[in-house]
Structure 1
Amino acid sequence: MCGHQSHHKLYAYEYIRHINHCSKTDCCQPNYTMTENPKTLLGLNVINGFTWPPLVHDTNPEKLANFKVREDDVFVLTYPKSGTHWTQKLVKNILFEGNNDKIRKDSESNPLGPIEFGDNYKKYDSLSTEKPRVMMIHVPVDVLPRQVFEGKGKVVFVIRNPKDNLVSYWNFLKDRQYLEEYEEWDSCFEASLRPDMLYGNWFDFNLPYYENHRNKKNFLFLTYEEMKLDHKGCVLRICDFLSRPLSEEQVDKVVENTSFSSMKASKPVLFFQGKPTYNLLRKGVVGDWKTRFTVAQKERFDAIYNQRMEGTALAKRIKFEI
C-alpha cells in the first residue's frame, strides 16, 4: 500500500481511500476503509481540485491532456447525462451510413466506455487506424487532449439544459453508491451547485468550452433540445461537420436508427466494473425537471442561472421547454 490517502467528509462519517500500487499502476483498483457507517460507498477521486469518479486514476488527466490525436478522430464530449450515448450512436450511424450490421460489429469489437476511465486511453490508442475512432469523453477544458486545440480531430459537443440535465444526472447517480448525498434529490440538488460536484457543476464545465471554442472549425456545438426539435436537421449538421455526405435514404435510416424508441428497444446499458448495471435511456424528454424541482428550488436555481449566464453567448441557446 502506497500510503496515499484522500479524505472527504460525508455527513457524519469519513471514508479513507487507499490506492494499491503495483507494476501496472493504471490497473490498480481502490480499496475502501469505512468508519461510522455500515454502507460501503465507492467515494470519488479529487485530482488537482477536480472531482472524478473512482475509475479515473490519479495520472489519467495528464495522460489524456497528452493523448495523441489522429486527424480523423471524433470526440463526443458532454457533461454527463446530456445525451452522450445518443450522440455517439448518431456519429457512428453517420460514419457507417446507417448500416446496422457494421455498427453492431464495430460496437462488439470496441466496447469501450468514456476514455477517462481506467486505462481506456491506452485501449483507444491501440485501435486500428483503418477507421475513425469515436471516443466518448467527459473532461474539463484543461484535460481535453491538447492537440485538439491545435486543430487535430473533431469534437461534437452536446449541451443539455441544466435543469433536465440535473434530474437525469440524479437518476443516474442515486444508485451508483458514490456518495450518500447523491442518493436523495434534495441533497444532490445542493451538491450540484458546488464546484466539487462530480465532474464539476454544469456552469463550470460547459461555459469555458462554449464561450472560448464555439467558433473553432473542429468543434460542433449542439444542444439536446435542438436534437429533439430537429432530429434530421442535426443529423445533417453532423454529416456536414464530419464531411460525410449521405444519400436521402441513408439519412432517413440514421434518423430511424437513432430515434428514442429504436434506441430504447435495443436496451443500451452502462458496463460498471465489468457488469451491465444501468439502462442508459430513461425518458428522453425536455421539461422533465418540472416533475422534480420544488418551487423554492426553481427560484433558487433560476437566480444562480441568471447570474452565471448573464452576458454569455450560450444563454441564447438554452431552452428549458420546447
Structure 2
Amino acid sequence: MADTPKTFLGVNVINGFAWSPQVLDDTPEKLQSFEIREDDVFVLTYPKAGTNWARELVRNIVCDGNKEKVKEDYESNPPGQLEFVDNWKKYDNFLREKPRIMMSHEPVDVLPRQIFEGKGRVLFVMRNPKDSAVSFWNFIKDRQFLEEYEKWDTFFEAYLRSDMLNGNWFDYNLPYYEQHRNKKNFLFLTYEEMKLDHKGCVIRISDFLSRPLSEEQVDKVVQNTSFSSMKAKNSISFQLKEEIGKKTFPLLRKGIVGDWKTRFTVAQNERFDAIYNQRMEGSALAKRIIFET
C-alpha cells in the first residue's frame, strides 16, 4: 500500500518576501501604519533566535517576577506573532493599563514607521546563524511548509537564499543592526549573551524598559525564565492543512549553543563560513556573534 502523500502549507510571498501562510496579503502594509503606544515593547528576532524566551523575559520584568501577574498577562495577550492572521487588530483593542508585549519576525521595511520616530521600545535578539539554521529546520520540517524544507541538505541550500521563509539570516539581521543599533529605543542582545549571563541580561532589559527590579525580583525573573521552566509550559497548537487538523508542537527544543555541529557537514560548514565571512565583512555585528562556548 502506497504511503499517503504529504500535504504542504507553502509560504505566502508578498512584495518578494516569503511570509508564513498565517500572514494575510494586506498585513505587511497594515503593520507599517500600526499605531504605536509609548509603552509598547516589541520583541523582534529572526526565527528561532529566542523569540519566546525574550518575550517571557520582558513579560516577567513588567510583572516584577510575580507568577500570578505573569499568568494573567499571558492569558490576556494574543498568542503567536503580531503578523499572524489578525493579531495586530487584537492588539489595537488591548487594554491601555499595561504595556503591550508583541513578538514578531517582521523585516525592517515592514516594522511600524512610528518606531523609527522613537515611539515604543524594541528588544532585538540575534542568534548565531548556524544554530539558527538547525533550530529553524527542526521547527518547520514537521509543520510541512515546503517539501524542500523536509530534509536537512535541501533546507541548508534554501537557508542561504533570499527567498527563504522570512528571508535569510543576513538579509534580516544586518539592516536592523547596522541602521538602528545606536537608537535609544532599540536594545540588541544575542541569544548566546542571554545563555552566558542570564541574570545580567535580565538587568539590562529591565534598565532598558525603565523598570528597575529589586535583587529578589531579578532572581524570580531568572527562575521563571530558566530553560527548564520555559520548556515545561511552552507548546503551541499549529493549524496544518484542513484535512490534517491541528497538532501541538513544543516551542523549545534543546536551547544550547553549538548544536549546529550535529547537522553541518564539514563541506557545509566550510561553505557557510566563506559566505559568512563575505557577508559580515566590515560589520560591527561580527564581533558579537559566537558559534560555541
Which of the five TM-score ranges fits, normalised by the shorter chain?
A: over 0.9
Q: Cα offset for 1:105? A: 1.3
- Gapped regions of structure 1 (runs ≥ 5): 1-36
The code of the aligned residue for 1:213 comes to H
Matched, 1:151 2:151: no
Give the alignment partner of residue 192 of structure 1, picking from 148, 159, 163. Answer: 159
Matched, 1:287 2:258: yes
Q: Cα offset for 1:63? A: 0.3
Matched, 1:270 2:241: no
- Rate the CA distance shift 1:237–1:290 in 2: closer, same or farther, 3 A: same
Instruction: Considering fraction of residues, name the structure with more strand.
Output: 1
Matched, 1:87 2:62: no
Distance (Å, rounded) in 1 between the aligned partners of 2:78 and 2:68: 15
Give the alignment partner of residue 136 of structure 2, picking from 169, 175, 178. Answer: 169
Q: How does 1:194-273 map to 2 (within 5 A)?
A: 194-266=161-233, 268-273=234-239
Give the corresponding residue for 1:320.
291
CA contact (8 A) 1:236 1:251 kept: yes
Give RMSD over aligned pairs: 1.1
Q: Cα offset for 1:262? A: 1.4
Give the alignment partner of residue 299 of structure 1, picking from 270, 275, 281. Answer: 270
User: Secondary structure in 1 aligned to 2:43?
Assistant: strand
Distance (Å, rounded) in 2 between the aligned partners of 1:117 and 1:109: 17
Distance (Å, rounded) in 2 between the aligned partners of 1:260 and 1:276: 23
The code of the aligned residue for 2:281 comes to E
Aligned length: 285
Deviations 1:52-85 (A, max 9, x none): 0111011000000110000000000000100000
The code of the aligned residue for 2:122 comes to V
TM-score, with normalisation over the residues of structure 2? Answer: 0.95
Q: Cα offset for 1:277? A: 1.7
CA contact (8 A) 1:269 1:276 kept: no
Deviations 1:160-218 (A, max 9, x none): 00000000000001011110010100000000000000000000000000001000000
- Gapped regions of structure 2 (runs ≥ 5): 240-244
Matched, 1:182 2:149: yes
Runs of 4 or more consecutive aligned structure 1 residues displaced over 6 Å after TM superposition: none
CA contact (8 A) 1:80 1:138 kept: yes
Distance (Å, rounded) in 2 between the aligned partners of 1:163 and 1:70: 35
CA contact (8 A) 1:74 1:153 kept: yes
Give the corresponding residue for 1:140.
107
The code of the aligned residue for 1:285 comes to I
The code of the aligned residue for 2:126 comes to I
Matched, 1:308 2:279: yes
Give the corresponding residue for 2:80.
113
Of stretches 39-48 and 125-134 in structure 1, the one that deviates more from structure 2 is: 39-48
Distance (Å, rounded) in 2 between the aligned partners of 1:207 and 1:109: 33
Q: How does 1:30-69 map to 2 (within 5 A)?
A: 38-69=5-36
Q: Cα offset for 1:265? A: 2.2
Instruction: Give 1 or 2 for the bigger CA radius of gyration.
Output: 1
User: Identical aligned pairs, as a percentage?
Assistant: 74
Distance (Å, rounded) in 1 between the aligned partners of 2:246 and 2:150: 21
- Rate the CA distance shift 1:90–1:276 in 2: closer, same or farther, 3 A: farther
Q: Cα offset for 1:275? A: 4.3
Greater relative CO (CA pairs within 8 A, separation 6+): 2
Distance (Å, rounded) in 2 between the aligned partners of 1:197 and 1:262: 32
